[in-house]
Structure 1
Amino acid sequence: MPDVQWLTQWPQHLGQNTDNPFCQPSFLRALESSGVCGANGGWSPHHLHWQDEQHELALPCYAKTHSWGEYVFDWSWAHAYEQHGLPYYPKLVCAIPYTPSMGPRASAELNAPLVTDLAKAMQQETLSQDYSGCHLLFPDDATADLWSSHSDWVERRDVQFHWRNQNYRDFDDFLDRFASRKRKNLRKERRSIADQGLEMHCFEGREIDAVTLRQFYVFYHATYLKRGRHGYLTLEFFEQLLADQPDSLVLFMAFQGEEGVAAALCFRDSTTLYGRYWGCLDEFNNLHFECCYYQGIDYCIRHGLQRFDPGTQGEHKVARGFEPRITRSFHWLSRPEFQEAVERFCLEEAEMVERYREQMTEALPFKQTD
């Protein structure tokens, strides 16, 4: 029999079988030690630790008392529970907190029999803790394909917009794929940055010093304050990441003279750039596009990265060459009547998601020959 434990801290001795920056033990520990993930924030660490004769691994799991920071929107499900006088929270979620990016969800390679056991372990824990259900959010394709074989879990689909590197020589080579008018619009947006007296700088890894990081955090937090909210993440969290996994960090910062005015903090691994956090103090035309999209595309081309995942949502990315891509999540609710309703909902939603993906594909700015 395997040894199954549910831990309130990520196991120190377990690394990851991937260079995905969000799946590193240092990233998960930074969330916990900085207080971002804890009972007060509604993300109580509840990690699944599995050990048998052949495997030892962990899944990042959390007991959630709300649905903020997940980006797989289930507010209507919670409302349905409330209408029937039932609690939807807490629920068990396997995910990277505040990170709607596809990636591995286990600290070791998975296979079909092991996924069967892990899915059952999550279901059993859901029942024993009287949670409403368990959820696997934004797994990579390999994990999703294994999980999809379990008919008692419902698959839900959505669309994100990612950029793919077609072995471009430079940014102009990428723009050569665009239809003429759309190529002119994009070049006009990029020229407007210099016309406003702005200059872009890229800081990688240990080039990001403590002062620059704090400056970025002011931008990041100010963007939330403009909407009357506080940022999910703390300065301590970012400082710990800079100390523990600096090689994952890429910071694009805009300067007006000597003064920084905006920044976008990205992460990278050996194949992909991930756009994550953005902030600015003043409004400048097209600066968000330059900081969050064009600088990232330029970086991927220079460094030979295959993909740029700029974050969730945003149809405006399509006009800038980001292609629609399906994301997947999996859900199991302990009450059969709600599980059946969710399954019907997800089947209908999947048809709409596919039509939307097709529409966004047709809206791409590339020449008709592409």
Structure 2
Amino acid sequence: MNDMLTLTTHPSIAAIDPQVWDGFGDGNPFTSHRFLLALEQSRSVGTGTGWQPLHLTVAMGDTITGVAPLYAKSHSQGEYIFDHGWAQAYVRAGGRYYPKLQCAVPFTPATGPRLLAGDDTARAGLLAGMMQLAERLDASGSHVTFCTEHEADLGAAAGFLPRITQQYHWLNRGYGSYDDFLAGLSSRKRKDLRKERARAQAFGGTIRHLTGDDLKPHHWDAFWEFYQDTGARKWGQPYLTRAFFDRIHETMRDDILLVLAEMDGKPIAGALNFLGPDAIYGRYWGCAADHAFLHFELCYHQAIDHAIAHGLSRVEAGAQGDHKLARGYEPVPIHSLHWVRDPGFLGALQTYLDQEREAMGAEIEALADFTPFRKGELQP
């Protein structure tokens, strides 16, 4: 580290003053102290999970100037920017890929700052600290995922390799209503979405938006059942514990929008969203009964409704899902940073990522042609 900067690791975020941590944030709910603390207190991360907290602070003298969520990983699950192939290649080359260091929000493929600091000097200090910590802990390397483009530029200057992947986000271009959004679509796509929403909303019940004190423990009981079913099918077992939902109810319910479909007063499906200052983030969905297009309605269309009504700039609907294109979600580049200690493997990785970035740029451009917007409607 720079002689003026001191790096400290913390085995729990509870050891860091919440006001200090959140003072460097931008309001993103996932990098908030309370979200990361809920993961730890609920034992969703920690011993036995493969996500061991090792959070960083960098200080100048006695003053903390930056923080970063960091974990020692013993696998690559729950990250959403995949490096399984790299891990296999590393082992085939005679190396040991795990443990590795991951600067990320566990189980959360949402974009936002990862190097939470007051200036770029502190951000550079955090990046340098991750490299040095990997050396000290005999980890294969360090990775920063779902970071900002500015952080990606800083990382590239520091010796990390930048990577670009893609997600689908809905972008608010000043729409006053959902009909305003539809007006920008081709006639056929506009009709398709109206029919889809009508069919979904005819499931025989009601759709409710719950946030803040409107959320009650029995809503979480229902959503937990939905989440378990979806998690078991997607990942083999859910990442989050039941206690996590109790914790976020206590500390984050004003940052949550739970969209529930109910029949006869009983929840049958739900979509969990988190709210940021300028975005709504779709995270989890589940159901107890299948109804045509209800998944699309709760997860995508209702999120768009909320974003328009509250003047939010975008909806981030999570990882993957080409079906989002037809519903007005657009391909956008996602940034990450990667560094491994082995210089030979790092060189091979750089060649791969250079080629991947070129291919990803072409893919994003090609996918944009499949959005439902009228030609010439979208602005850069």
Q: TM-score range by the shorter chain?
A: over 0.9
CA contact (8 A) 2:117 2:123 kept: no
Partner amino acid, structure 2, of 1:123: M
1:19 corresponds to = 27
**Which residue identity lines up with residue 21 of structure 2 in the other structure?**
G
Percent identity (aligned): 37
Q: What are the Cα deviations for residues 52-73 of structure 1, in whole angstroms up to 9, with x where unaligned?
A: 1464332110000000001111
Q: Does 1:8 align with 2:11?
A: yes
Q: Which runs of 5+ in 1 are unaligned?
A: none
Q: Does 1:66 align with 2:72?
A: no
1:359 aligns with 2:366: yes
Q: Give the one of 52, 55, 65 matched to 1:56.
A: 65
Between 136-145 and 243-252, the greater mean CA deviation after superposition: 136-145
CA distance in 2, matches of 1:301, 1:220: 27
Deviation digits for residues 71-129 of structure 1, max 9, x if unmatched?
11111111012212321000011000111111111343231x33332222111110111
Q: 1:114 aligns with which of 122, 144, 153?
A: 122
The offset of 1:228, in angstroms, is: 7.4
CA distance in 2, matches of 1:318, 1:130: 42
Cα distance change on mapping 1:57 and 1:115 into 2, 3 Å: closer
Q: Distance in 1 between matches of 2:126 and 2:258?
A: 37
In structure 2, the residue matched to 1:209 is 216
1:275-354 to 2 correspondence within 5 Å? 275-354=282-361
* SS in structure 1 of the partner of residue 101 of structure 2: strand
The one-letter code of the counterpart of 1:248 is: D
Matched position secondary structure for 1:41: coil
Aligned to 2:42: 34
For the 8 Å contact 2:65–2:122, the answer to whether it is kept is no
Q: CA RMSD in A?
A: 1.4
Flag the 1:63–1:227 CA change in 2: closer, same or farther, 3 A.
closer
1:144–1:85 distance in 2 versus 1, CA, 3 Å: closer
Q: 3-state DSSP class of the match of 1:149?
A: helix
Match of 1:265 in 2: 272
The alignment of Structure 1 onto Structure 2 pairs a total of residues equal to 368
Alpha-carbon distance in 1 for matches of 2:125, 2:154: 12
TM-score of the two chains, using structure 1 as the length reference: 0.96
Q: Distance in 1 between matches of 2:53 and 2:350?
A: 28
Instruction: State whether residues 110 and 143 of structure 1, in contact with CA within 8 Å, keep that contact through their aligned partners in structure 2.
Output: no
User: Which residue in the other structure is 1:153 paired with?
Assistant: 160
The one-letter code matched in structure 2 to 1:5 is T
Deviation for aligned residue 1:288: 0.8
Cα-to-partner distance string for 1:185-218 (whole Å, 9 max, x where unaligned):
1111101123331321100122111111111111
Shift of 1:269: 1.6
Moved more, 141-150 or 165-174: 141-150
Q: 8-17 or 181-190: which moved more?
A: 8-17
Closer/same/farther in 2, CA of residues 137 and 273 from structure 1, 3 Å limit: same
Deviation at 1:281, TM superposition (A): 1.6
Separation (CA, whole Å) in 2 of partners of 1:228 and 1:7:
29
Is 1:78 paired with 2:82? no
| Amino acid across the alignment from 1:12 | I
> SS of the residue aligned with 1:138?
strand
